């Protein structure tokens, strides 16, 4: 047996034997079988009340997710120490049973043993993980009553608890706890920073970030990820450049967020640099590349139009998650490669990896591929399969894809019936898909039915583009009075079509401008650069377009 081989006969002294058993628990115990053998030796030698051995024994039982054995050990202790209570509380928290963790904490309160800072930290973290608002607030009250309110770790856990569980209102409580702290560490600051982003207060997050005395990589990564998720992708990339300028080391988690920002603004150059950097540095350090980072590379390349590069990353992945498959399917679908998208989906379905299963986003990509390729029968089949085989409830985006698929194929009556049968109100994308089909096939009848619904369902500012579509349907059918009526309706509700936005990357910098806006400083510079490129191209004998063909093109 494992223990018989590891416990020499010359350990006659009780203390030496205790230390050796602890050494085995600390360094040699790799399986539940080995743990059971050591536990048997602990029992036969009468060490079932030795707290320092039992603390390690409990931590291993909970790590192996063997809670019945852990509780059996704990229940046999006549007077459990605070450290033993802490191990049970922490074990249930790590194991995902937050309510059991709180239950053990309450049982501890009925004993003669007093909780310490670790106890409160463990149970508060457990409440945060389990979403136990009332229980967490009760623990907060006990913290104040017991005098642990000056403990920086307990207070930090409270800040994190309110940030994670209460949304925008919780951030206010978190800020109150934060303001009352006599001492703060970087973890405290980072929790508040995360809370600002969670409540959508990006400007508040920047203020907190500027006040952090010593920022660490988590501080920077939280800022970059928060900006990327809240539509401040330019700010996210600017923060990453600041990290590089200040020689702050970043990790793969940071780069996942940076790649997300690159995908949104189309910064292909930075994305390529990250790709090269990651694989070179990981080869040098003999590290593996995170699957999430490879997924981010697929998304970045696909969003920037480099679908072959995206597929290149996908093919080299030895392990793929649902996100990996979905990113590739969606990438192919958005670029019009319907056959390739469906082929990847079929590969996903035939994958032997039981942990991989299509989700609602996967089917959104599949339906998009069917729509762009005109595969009506396949689209109907996948839509039914999503519901009946995989038990996924269609969202409005799935209905929008189906309406678009049917409308593109000229099946306007079927598309219209699908819109009317939807369990939720149609949004502007659904109406736009239906009207797009009406414009292509000059269906005035369906368009007329949609007209009244558009006015009732959509906000005037959001409906502007669809009023234009409706007007074009009438114009194609030479219904000029109806065209005038729609245009007059747009004037009456004071709606206006927003101008198209475009991006261009010049010498590593990305510039955004509005359609037809020559007055914008970026537009002036873009015209100058394109004119210079045009002159050089003509000098080289190339056929070129005018600058107006590149700048100010409306959607």
Q: From CA 512, how far away is CA 76, in angstroms rounded?
A: 69
Q: What pLDDT is stored for residue 465 in this prediction?
A: 66
Mean pLDDT over 265-288 rounds to: 90
In percent, the amount of the chain with pLDDT more than 70 equals 82
Q: What pLDDT is stored for residue 165 in this prediction?
A: 81
Per domain, the residue ranges of the chain are 215-319, 502-549
448 confidence band (pLDDT: 50, 70, 90): confident
Conformational region of residue 357, where left means phi above 0, alpha means psi within -120 to 50, and beta covers everything else: beta
Mean pLDDT over 297-313 rounds to: 96
In percent, the amount of the chain with pLDDT more than 90 equals 59
The yes-or-no verdict on residue 51 having pLDDT over 90 is: no
Mean pLDDT over 133-158 rounds to: 91
Helices (H), 350-479: 360-373, 376-388, 396-408, 412-421, 428-441, 444-457, 460-476
Closest by alpha carbon to 130, among 85, 96, 95, 167? 96
φ, ψ of residue 425 in degrees (nearest 5):
-70, 135
Closest by alpha carbon to 272, among 38, 552, 505? 505
pLDDT in tens, 92-116: 999 889 999 999 999 999 999 999 9
C-beta separation of 458 from 423 below 8 A: no
pLDDT in tens, 338-374: 999 999 999 999 988 888 999 999 999 999 999 989 9
Sign of CA dihedral 507, 512, 515, 519: negative
- Helix 396-408 to helix 412-421 angle (10° resolution) is 170
Of the chain, the end-to-end C-alpha distance in Å amounts to 74
Mean pLDDT over 170-199 rounds to: 90
The yes-or-no verdict on residue 548 having pLDDT over 70 is: no
- 3-state class (DSSP) for residue 486: helix
166 confidence band (pLDDT: 50, 70, 90): low
The yes-or-no verdict on residue 521 having pLDDT over 70 is: no
Mean pLDDT over 149-169 rounds to: 84
C-beta separation of 517 from 538 below 8 A: no
The yes-or-no verdict on residue 449 having pLDDT over 80 is: no
pLDDT in tens, 379-429: 999 999 999 999 999 999 999 999 999 999 999 999 999 998 999 988 878
Q: What pLDDT is stored for residue 537 in this prediction?
A: 47
- For residue 64, the tally of other CB atoms under 10 A from its CB is 15
């Amino acid at each position: 047996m494992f223990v018989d081989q590891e416990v020499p006969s010359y350990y006659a002294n009780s203390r030496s034997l205790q230390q050796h058993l602890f050494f085995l628990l600390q360094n040699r115990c790799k399986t539940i079988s080995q743990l059971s053998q050591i536990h048997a030796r602990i029992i036969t030698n009468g060490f079932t009340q030795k707290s320092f051995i039992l603390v390690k024994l409990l931590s291993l039982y909970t790590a192996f997710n063997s809670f019945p054995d852990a509780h059996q050990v704990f229940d046999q202790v006549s007077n459990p120490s605070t450290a033993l209570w802490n191990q049970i509380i922490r074990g249930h928290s790590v194991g995902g049973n937050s309510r059991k963790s709180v239950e053990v904490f309450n049982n501890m309160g009925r004993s003669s043993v007093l909780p310490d800072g670790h106890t409160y930290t463990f149970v508060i973290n457990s409440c945060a993980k389990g979403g136990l608002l009332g229980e967490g607030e009760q623990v907060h009250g006990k913290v104040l009553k017991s005098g642990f309110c000056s403990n920086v770790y307990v207070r930090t856990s409270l800040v994190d608890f309110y940030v994670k569980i209460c949304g925008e209102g919780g951030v206010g409580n978190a800020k109150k706890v934060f303001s009352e702290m006599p001492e703060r560490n970087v973890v405290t600051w980072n929790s508040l920073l995360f809370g600002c982003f969670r409540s959508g207060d990006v400007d508040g997050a920047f203020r907190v970030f500027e006040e952090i005395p010593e920022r660490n990589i988590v501080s920077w990564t939280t800022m970059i990820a928060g900006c990327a998720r809240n539509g401040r992708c330019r700010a996210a990339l600017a923060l990453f450049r600041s990290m590089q300028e200040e020689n702050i080391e970043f990790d793969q988690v940071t780069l996942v967020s940076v790649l997300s920002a690159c995908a949104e603004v189309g910064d292909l150059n930075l994305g390529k640099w990250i790709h090269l950097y990651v694989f070179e540095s990981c080869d040098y350090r003999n590290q593996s590349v995170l699957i999430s980072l490879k997924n981010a590379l697929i998304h970045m390349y696909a969003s920037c139009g480099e679908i072959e590069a995206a597929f290149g990353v996908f093919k080299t992945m030895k392990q793929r998650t649902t996100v990996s498959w979905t990113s590739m399917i969606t990438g192919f679908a958005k670029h019009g490669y319907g056959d390739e998208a469906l082929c990847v989906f079929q590969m996903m379905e035939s994958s032997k990896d039981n942990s991989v299963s299509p989700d609602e986003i996967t089917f959104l990509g599949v339906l998009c591929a069917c729509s762009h390729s005109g595969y009506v029968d396949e689209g109907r089949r996948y839509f039914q399969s999503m519901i009946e085989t995989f038990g996924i409830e269609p969202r409005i985006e799935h209905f929008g894809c189906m309406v678009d698929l049917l409308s593109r194929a000229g099946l306007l009556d079927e598309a219209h019936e699908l819109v009317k049968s939807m369990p939720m109100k149609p949004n502007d994308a659904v109406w736009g898909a239906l009207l797009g089909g009406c414009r292509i096939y000059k269906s005035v009848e369906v368009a007329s039915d949609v007209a009244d619904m558009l006015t009732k369902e959509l906000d005037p500012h959001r409906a502007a583009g669809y009023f234009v579509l409706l007007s074009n349907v009438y114009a194609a059918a030479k219904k000029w009075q109806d065209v005038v009526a729609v245009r007059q309706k747009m004037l009456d509700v004071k709606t206006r079509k927003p101008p198209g936005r475009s991006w261009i990357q010049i010498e590593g910098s990305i510039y955004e401008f509005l359609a037809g806006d020559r007055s914008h400083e970026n537009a002036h510079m873009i015209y100058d650069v394109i004119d210079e490129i045009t002159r050089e191209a003509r000098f080289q004998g190339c056929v070129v377009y005018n600058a107006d063909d590149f700048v100010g093109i409306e959607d």
